A and B are shown apart, each in its own frame.
Chain A
Amino acid sequence: MQAWFHDVVNYLCDLLGADQRFTCRVTGEDSDMVRFNGGRIRQAGSVTQRELALQLIEGDRQVRGTLELTGDIAADRFPLRQLHDALSTLVREAPPDPHLCFPDAVSTTEDREDDRLPPTSAVLPLILAEQRDLQPVGIYMAGRIAEGVATSSGLRRWYETHTFDLDLSLCLGLGPRERDRSVKLTLGGTRWDPAEVERQLATAAAKAERLRADRVRVAPGAYRTYIAPSGWKMILRTLGWRGAFSHRAVANGTSPFAALHRGERLSTRVSISENHSLGWTAPFSPDGFRRRLELPLVEEGRVSSVCVAPRTALEYGVPHTGATAEENPGSIEVAAGDLPLAEIPERIGDGLYLDHLHYLNLSDRGTASVTGLTRFAAFRVRDGRIAEPLEIVRFDDSVLQLLGERLIGFTAERERLPEGRSYHRRALGGALLPGAIVEGLRIVS
């Protein structure tokens, strides 16, 4: 695929008119996708796709386009020329763009991870095996993902990896009593370790056994609560999507973390960073700008940096961090604390243990309040021990407070959680997060 990438870039260079420049990003994927329900297969298939994203610049004007391609330069020349023609017409009609940005680096980089994954057919029996009468439900995706960025002035960056994503729930059943009862696990990476998968399945199955007991309903109120790493991933993703770490959102007052930029602070235990040095994503932005590999967002409770896209940098006159246009951090990392995972129920004493959260959204921007629900394994904790499973409850609470004065502590252990999304294409990235105990999580219904 890398040779084809260079062919595409060279042909685009040939097509360029006077006073034209370009940046382009080529993405490709060859993935198997097997979706299963109750240990049986619902859909199974393969996806092969190649795509170009092109920023065409003429003088001080620019336009953008994307084009799905075949992966064979002989076949792709015609549609590439058509796209270039269409964008050339459009760019001549476009007004000057005062925030036009173009990566001026001229270098060649290559990051490549060899294929160490077993064939999908060899993986399925382990995934689909019944685990103590529990129904495996979810998806396994695996294959090559590649991404290249180039400019007409000589930049060439290539990133290629072979990864798998196993996103799976072990469910009790579909009857009225079992319908919402399951334990979820997500695994991903470049190495498939059957022993580790079996260990995680066994742990999840043991946890699922606890869900067979009668559920208890907890009344609205405030509860000391453990939220597992996957829950914090949802919380940080929701805040990030709504601009918590975005320079643009901070500048226009819409960031839910605006209060932190006015001088408020979180607990000194909180350190959050965007860390591309974890190696789960390409070390360059989709527009070819080199990313800040480690960007501290919150250090010991104080805001230290924000994600700045190159366009935002020009608009507001600040240095950029190589962030995407959304200014939403990827590969997010939260520093570990000192709570031993094994002691979590004891440290809670009386409260709640939440393995996952569901359907979060910002309920109030000013206080960074987030609402959402419990899902998958959620338990009442009594006398320092995991007790009954919970009926689904809704929380609505301020993250500024939960990670501020009400943070009791993060766990010493952290989990690597793969990004796992596959809208249009399989996403790379993930998060490295601890769990945490918070005081007085507000349950509202």
Chain B
Amino acid sequence: MSEGSTELLRDFSEADAWLARIAPPVDFCSLRLVESRTQAVATRRGVPLPSRIDIGCGAMVTVIDGGGVGYAATSDLSFPSLYQAARTALTWAERMRERAVIDFSSVDRPRRGGSYATTEEIPWEAWPLSEKLERLLETDALLGADPRVVDRRTRWEHRRTVTRLVTTDGISIDQTRVRVVPDMVVVASDHGETQQRSFGGRGSCRQGGLEMIEALGWSEAGERLRDEAVALLDAPLCPSGPTRLLIGPSQMILQIHESIGHPLELDRILGDERNFAGTSFVGPGDFGTLQYGSELLNVSFDPTLPEEFASYGFDDEGAPAERRLLIERGILRRGLGGGTSAARLARGGEGLPPAEVEAVACSRACHWNRPPIDRMANLNVEPGEDSLTDLLARAEDGIFVDVNSSWSIDDSRRNFQFGCEVGRRIEGGELKGWVRNPGYRGRSTDFWRSLIGVGDRSTFEVLGTPNCGKGEPNQMVEVGHASPVCLFDGIDVFGTGV
């Protein structure tokens, strides 16, 4: 066969026509195409690491027929391959329909198409490799300018993902998302003590182009992180005992993610994740009634903030994304689940009592080779009215922590223990000296009910995480979180180590 003789779906704009050619006569068929291009530059201890270009491209065909659903995913975008994928998906749908968790044909499907694109001011290609490396090496030199620094790393990553979803319901959705993940880590060690500081624990990531690297404060961070790592070497151990705990946005995002995001996922409530990620302490009857946190707590599912990491126009099943409050004045209102999960809950799936829980557009897949499941997207604590000065004054004497270093929570998302890179004493309403190895424990709703202060927009930061793992088969997705500084009362704080 000569080069180019195989008919390939290289131009995603032709997807509608291809779907028409490959779709069997079924209740529903969709073709989801994904093309990704990730580029990265990095240094370690003053030496540039090999630069990278990672290119992904593939398709998932989904068939719903007679109540069953099946998928077939392939990196072969030739016509015979996609045609066969549609037949394989149909075979799965037929094979599982008698044992399906729900009659998939009866679940309402999205009916509106559209498009979404990230605003990217400075494209990755605008700066040549030499300029990127020069800037990373400048930062690397700042990180290393102390004899107690034993390791240091810098990295910029740029992800461009193009997706096109077409369905036999006649909808067509095009989305282009561009994300940047700047990262730096410095490790200092002396007299047997080792301390690490990082650029938000990989939480400093945004949707957008290279302009976001500076918007996240890259230039000023190197010297500061180095000095903080060194200062922590001689800091006293974080004191133990119940106290007022002021938490910065870089740690708040982890707290939101683990103790609000995951327990509100409807597939966990339905038991899909019982064998892997876990269940949830939240039950179907808790929506509309559970006092999840204090009255100061307002949590939004907000895929509309343009710079936030997981913003999009539509989820991977085609549902249009809209902002929704999940928790209002501390009361749980809505969960994180797509239309299929909401329908299963409404019909009393898995032996649960029927419950009406509004779906939000969060059926997401990590790539073309995994089917969509219920995921967080952007999940944010809404800003309050207190300035940082107000919060410190209210804390009086307590501990300030920020930037996660260790995270652990039980499978139903109740019992958590988190460690942080940054710890400082609060004395007389002012930030004072460093304390090392701070950690804190709690139970999710008790913790959120102890929220006594929420920072205003001046303390609000838009962050996220590139790596949220869940699902069988396993999937890693990008998640956005934004939060102000928050103050909690009576938290069990401790220092780890000796």
Residues of chain A having any CB pair with chain B under 8 Å: 33-51, 55, 62-72, 74-75, 77-79, 83, 86-87, 90, 93-95, 97-99, 121, 128, 135, 137-139, 141, 167-169, 171, 173-176, 179-180, 182, 184, 252-254, 258, 315, 358-367, 369, 371-373, 375, 392, 394, 396, 421-424, 426, 444-445
Q: Are A38 and B271 in contact (CB under 8 A)?
A: yes
Identify which of residues 391-416 in chain B touch chain A, using a CB-to-CB cut-off of 8 Å. 406-412, 414-415
- Given A47-B369, A394-B410, A37 and B272 contact (CB-CB distance below 8 Å): yes
Give the contacting residue for B472; candidates A70, A139, A392, A444; CB below 8 A. Answer: A139
Q: Are B411 and A45 in contact (CB under 8 A)?
A: no
Give the contacting residue for A75; candidates B8, B279, B476; CB below 8 A. Answer: B8
The segment out of B16-24, B125-133, B382-390 that lies at the interface is: B125-133
Name the A residues within 8 Å of B288 (CB-CB): none
* Bound CA–CA A258/B128 (angstroms): 40
* Bound CA–CA A365/B407 (angstroms): 14
- Given A41-B100, A137-B274, A254-B194, A373 and B411 contact (CB-CB distance below 8 Å): yes
Asked if B289 lies at the interface with its beta carbon under 8 angstroms from chain A, I say no
With CB as the reference atom, state the residue of chain B lying closest to A258: B194
Q: Are A79 and B55 in contact (CB under 8 A)?
A: yes
Q: Are B133 and A95 in contact (CB under 8 A)?
A: yes
- Given A37-B270, A71-B75, A373 and B371 contact (CB-CB distance below 8 Å): no
* Bound CA–CA A444/B275 (angstroms): 25
- Given A95-B133, A252-B189, A254-B194, A359 and B411 contact (CB-CB distance below 8 Å): yes
Q: Are B52 and A45 in contact (CB under 8 A)?
A: no
Residues of chain B having any CB pair with chain A under 8 Å: 1-6, 8, 45, 47-58, 69-78, 81, 85, 88-89, 92, 95-96, 99-101, 128-130, 133, 150-151, 187, 189, 192-194, 196, 270-272, 274-276, 278-279, 283, 350-352, 366-367, 369, 371, 373, 406-412, 414-415, 417, 419, 437, 439, 441, 469, 472-476, 496-498
A435 to chain B, nearest CB (A): 21
Give the contacting residue for A64; candidates B50, B57, B99, B189; CB below 8 A. Answer: B50
With CB as the reference atom, state the residue of chain A lying closest to B3: A77
With CB as the reference atom, state the residue of chain B lying closest to A140: B472
Q: Are B472 and A138 in contact (CB under 8 A)?
A: yes
Give the contacting residue for B55; candidates A42, A77, A83, A97; CB below 8 A. Answer: A83
B92 to chain A, nearest CB (A): 4
* Bound CA–CA A47/B52 (angstroms): 26
Given contact pairs A44-B92, A71-B76, a sample of 17 additional A-B residue pairs in the complex whose CB atoms are under 8 Å apart: A44-B71, A45-B88, A46-B71, A48-B81, A75-B8, A78-B4, A79-B57, A93-B130, A94-B48, A94-B50, A137-B274, A182-B274, A315-B45, A359-B411, A366-B194, A366-B497, A371-B417
Name the A residues within 8 Å of B276 (CB-CB): 138-139, 167
- Given A180-B412, A363-B406, A363-B419, A66 and B54 contact (CB-CB distance below 8 Å): yes
Give the contacting residue for A361; candidates B48, B56, B350, B408; CB below 8 A. Answer: B408
Name the B residues within 8 Å of A372 (CB-CB): 408
Name the B residues within 8 Å of A175 (CB-CB): 351
Q: Are A46 and B128 in contact (CB under 8 A)?
A: no
* Bound CA–CA A137/B272 (angstroms): 7
- Given A33-B473, A37-B270, A97 and B50 contact (CB-CB distance below 8 Å): yes
Q: Are B73 and A47 in contact (CB under 8 A)?
A: yes
* Bound CA–CA A77/B414 (angstroms): 52
* Bound CA–CA A84/B424 (angstroms): 50
Q: Are A180 and B279 in contact (CB under 8 A)?
A: yes
* Bound CA–CA A46/B196 (angstroms): 42
* Bound CA–CA A89/B153 (angstroms): 25
Q: Are B272 and A396 in contact (CB under 8 A)?
A: no
A364 to chain B, nearest CB (A): 4
B422 to chain A, nearest CB (A): 16
- Given A47-B73, A87-B53, A171-B271, A97 and B99 contact (CB-CB distance below 8 Å): no
Q: Are A70 and B275 in contact (CB under 8 A)?
A: no
* Bound CA–CA A99/B89 (angstroms): 47
With CB as the reference atom, state the residue of chain A lying closest to B93: A44
Give the contacting residue for A445; candidates B76, B96, B415; CB below 8 A. Answer: B415
With CB as the reference atom, state the residue of chain A lying closest to B285: A176
Give the contacting residue for B6; candidates A47, A72, A138, A365; CB below 8 A. Answer: A72
* Bound CA–CA A352/B236 (angstroms): 35
With CB as the reference atom, state the residue of chain B lying closest to A121: B95
Name the B residues within 8 Å of A394 (CB-CB): 408, 410, 415, 417, 441
Chain A to chain B: the 9 pairs with minimum beta-carbon distance, closest first? A45-B71, A138-B275, A70-B76, A139-B472, A422-B473, A364-B496, A253-B189, A252-B151, A93-B129
Q: Are B187 and A253 in contact (CB under 8 A)?
A: yes
A302 to chain B, nearest CB (A): 20
Q: Are A45 and B72 in contact (CB under 8 A)?
A: yes
* Bound CA–CA A45/B407 (angstroms): 33
Name the A residues within 8 Å of B6 (CB-CB): 70, 72, 74-75
With CB as the reference atom, state the residue of chain A lying closest to B189: A253
B225 to chain A, nearest CB (A): 16
Most buried by A among B373, B469, B474: B474
- Given A43-B71, A48-B76, A371-B417, A359 and B92 contact (CB-CB distance below 8 Å): no
B105 to chain A, nearest CB (A): 15
Q: Are B47 and A363 in contact (CB under 8 A)?
A: no
* Bound CA–CA A98/B441 (angstroms): 45
Q: Are B95 and A44 in contact (CB under 8 A)?
A: yes
* Bound CA–CA A375/B95 (angstroms): 33
Q: Are B469 and A359 in contact (CB under 8 A)?
A: no
Q: Are A49 and B58 in contact (CB under 8 A)?
A: yes
Q: Are B371 and A43 in contact (CB under 8 A)?
A: yes
Name the B residues within 8 Å of A94 (CB-CB): 48, 50-51, 129
Q: Are A49 and B415 in contact (CB under 8 A)?
A: no
* Bound CA–CA A43/B374 (angstroms): 13
Name the A residues within 8 Å of B57 (CB-CB): 68, 79
With CB as the reference atom, state the residue of chain B lying closest to A365: B194
A–B complex contacts, Cβ < 8 Å, 11 sampled: A38-B350, A46-B92, A47-B73, A50-B75, A66-B56, A68-B57, A128-B99, A366-B192, A369-B497, A423-B475, A444-B417
Give the contacting residue for A95; candidates B48, B187, B412, B475; CB below 8 A. Answer: B48
Give the contacting residue for A65; candidates B55, B187, B472; CB below 8 A. Answer: B55
* Bound CA–CA A99/B50 (angstroms): 10
- Given A41-B100, A371-B417, A359 and B409 contact (CB-CB distance below 8 Å): yes
B417 to chain A, nearest CB (A): 5
B38 to chain A, nearest CB (A): 9
* Bound CA–CA A441/B270 (angstroms): 33
With CB as the reference atom, state the residue of chain A lying closest to B413: A359
Name the B residues within 8 Å of A35 (CB-CB): 272, 472-473
A197 to chain B, nearest CB (A): 16
With CB as the reference atom, state the residue of chain B lying closest to A180: B412
